């Protein structure tokens, strides 16, 4: 059996350099745009939307999001330049860890990159560094409707106890297509298909996914959403895992006023997800333009706008929620099994929101309730609380 050596964590000096570089890039872009700005930024109104894993409200990213109900029923009047760009970039194990095949076929135009460092609490603890990138493009309608094409890639560098015999590096690759199909002015179904790999470079971790997300505007104030789908393993030889992962979700959203909304629902993300069952409920309240309370499970968040430079805005926020990832790895007995990592996290961050140009932010988090599990081996290892730092850029 191959002897596995624990990789050494990156030095904090290099991490600090990366953080300072990110701030300088974003700040320089801000200064240049502020000099030519003639009017304050007006972000588009919030619209109900979806996230492929947690189905969070779009205010979590505070970016103009692609809303299929906004597409004209007459495709001849569709113009790519008028469709908002989705530039949200999610992490591979932060508040909203990237699962196998997540986010595929849902993004609009734009791309992003993110780095996250999860500290190793002690010599027998578990730490991780992750780099992820995603790019999306929207293809104009040819027959029925515009189509979203998304590609993503990521690498996770693990610092784990040697007795667990885990690989030092794990990978994620994904390709997805999505297309909205309208039924009148008030109903739309988003059809998605994706292929993704999570874990070691092997066909045993390759999955195919199909999903349908239906959204119906019942009235001016009420929107209902229903999702159903499944992921299936392509190569099940020498794999000990559920071949098919079912996903279900139902959610309703009520727009009480222009500043107050309520959401209630729940989702089942599959037995091998870090958190198979997720509640989705809470309130979104905007008492002022510069203060937003997004008290919605599973990712509550309070945001405060610090400055408005004309073409962008700087916000600070306090938030939290679950995070994690699932990889397929080959064990010492030659059988491939799913490895599941999960935690909860409190986060404090600063971000630049922009409709055009570079957006991004820096976040410091406190992770607790951390564990690694391989159900088929009755392995469930808990780890001490630790700190995390992440930075992201969106273009």
pLDDT bin (cut points 50, 70, 90) of residue 42 is very low
- Cβ atoms of 146 and 191 closer than 8 Å: no
Cβ atoms of 134 and 114 closer than 8 Å: no
Least Cα distance to 65 among 80, 44, 81, 89 occurs for: 44
Mean pLDDT of 194-202: 91
DSSP state of 10: P
CA triple 268-339-389, angle to 5 deg: 85
Please, are residues 25 and 5 in contact by the beta-carbon 8 Å criterion?
Answer: no
Q: What is the pTM of this model?
A: 0.73
Question: Rounded to an integer, what distance in angstroms lies between the CA atom of residue 2 and that of residue 345?
Answer: 34
Q: Which residue has the higher pLDDT, 155 or 109?
A: 155
Where helices occur in the chain by DSSP H, the ranges are 12-36
| Residue-level pLDDT at 258 | 87
What is the per-residue pLDDT across 248-258, written as a single tens digit (0 to 9) for each? 999 999 999 98
**22 vs 338, more confident:** 338
**How would you label 42-52 residue by residue, b for 16+ Cβ within 10 Å and e otherwise?**
eeeebbbbbbb
Q: How confident is the model at residue 357 (pLDDT cuts 50, 70, 90)?
A: confident
DSSP single-letter state for residue 271: T
- Whether 244 has a pLDDT exceeding 80, the answer reads yes
Distance CA 209, CA 196 (A): 8
3-state secondary structure 81-102: HHCCCCCCCCCCCCCCCCCCCC
Q: Does position 363 have pLDDT exceeding 70, yes or no?
A: yes
Question: Coil, strand or helix: which one is 62?
Answer: coil
Domain borders along the chain are 12-394
Non-local CB neighbours of 148 within 8 Å, separated by 6+ positions? 66, 105, 106, 107, 108, 136, 137, 138, 139, 176, 177, 178, 179
Question: What whole-number distance in Å separates Cα of residue 136 and Cα of residue 176?
Answer: 9
CB atoms closer than 10 angstroms to residue 334: 7
Q: How high is the pLDDT of residue 367?
A: 95
pLDDT at 262 (0 to 100): 94
C-alpha 243 chain-centroid distance:
24
DSSP string covering 156-219 = EEEE--GGG---SEEEEEEEEEEEEEEETTTEEEEEEEEEEEEESSSGGGEEEEEEEEEEEE-S
Phi, psi of 144 (to 5 degrees): -115, -60
- Confidence band, pLDDT 50/70/90 cuts, at residue 101: very low
Q: Which two tokens stand for residue 302?
A: 């309070």
12-26, 189-203, 278-292 — which is least confidently predicted?
12-26
- Of all residues in the chain, the percent with pLDDT exceeding 90 is 48
Mean pLDDT for the chain overall: 75
51-94: pLDDT as tens digits:
332 222 233 233 333 344 444 444 333 333 333 333 333 332 33
**In the chain, what is the straight-line distance between the N-terminal and C-terminal CA atoms, in Å?**
44
pLDDT band at 185 (very low <50, low <70, confident <90, very high): confident
The more confidently predicted of residues 339 and 357 is 339
Dist CA 134 CA 104 (whole Å): 10
Query: pLDDT at position 143, please?
Result: 66
Distance, CA of 170 to chain centre: 18
Of 242, 244, 190, 248, the residue nearest 216 (C-alpha)? 190
Token pair of 173 as six digits = 């690759």
User: Higher pLDDT residue, 278 or 309?
Assistant: 278
Contacts of 146 by beta carbon, 8 Å cutoff, 6+ apart = 71, 75, 78, 80, 83, 138, 139, 140, 179, 180
């Amino acid at each position: 059996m191959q002897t596995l050596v624990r990789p050494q964590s990156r030095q904090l000096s290099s991490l600090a350099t990366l953080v300072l570089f990110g701030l300088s890039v974003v700040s320089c872009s801000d200064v240049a745009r502020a000099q030519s700005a003639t009017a304050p930024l007006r972000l588009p109104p919030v619209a109900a939307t979806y996230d492929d894993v947690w189905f969070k409200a779009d205010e979590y990213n505070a970016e103009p999001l692609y809303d299929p109900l906004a597409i004209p029923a007459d495709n001849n009047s569709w113009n790519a330049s008028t469709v908002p760009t989705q530039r949200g970039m999610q992490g591979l194990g932060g508040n909203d860890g990237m699962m196998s095949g997540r986010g595929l076929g849902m993004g609009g135009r734009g791309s992003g990159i993110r780095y996250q460092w999860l500290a190793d609490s002690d010599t027998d603890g578990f730490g991780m560094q992750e780099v992820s990138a995603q790019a999306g493009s929207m293809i104009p309608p040819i027959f029925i409707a515009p189509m979203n094409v998304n590609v993503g890639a990521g690498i996770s560098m693990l610092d784990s106890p040697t007795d667990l015999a885990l690989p030092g590096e794990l990978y994620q690759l994904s390709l997805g297509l999505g297309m909205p199909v309208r039924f009148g002015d008030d109903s739309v179904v988003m059809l998605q298909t994706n292929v993704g790999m999570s874990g070691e470079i092997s066909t045993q971790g390759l999955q195919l996914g199909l999903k349908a997300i239906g959204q119906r505007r019942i009235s001016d104030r009420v929107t209902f959403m229903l999702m159903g789908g499944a992921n299936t393993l392509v190569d099940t030889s020498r794999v000990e895992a559920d071949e098919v992962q079912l996903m279900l979700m139902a959610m309703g959203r009520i727009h009480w006023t222009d500043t107050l909304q309520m959401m209630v629902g729940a989702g089942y993300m599959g037995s091998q997800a870090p958190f198979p069952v997720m509640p989705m409920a809470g309130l979104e309240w905007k008492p002022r333009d510069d203060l937003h309370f997004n008290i919605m499970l599973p990712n509550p968040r309070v945001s405060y706008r610090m400055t408005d430079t004309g073409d962008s805005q700087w916000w600070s926020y306090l938030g939290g929620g679950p995070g994690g990832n699932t990889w397929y790895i080959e064990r010492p007995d030659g059988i491939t099994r799913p490895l599941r990592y999960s935690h909860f996290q409190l986060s404090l961050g600063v971000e630049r929101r922009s409709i055009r140009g570079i957006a991004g932010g820096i976040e410091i988090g406190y992770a607790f309730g951390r564990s690694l599990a391989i159900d088929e081996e009755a392995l469930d290892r808990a780890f001490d609380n630790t700190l995390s730092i992440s930075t992201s850029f969106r273009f």
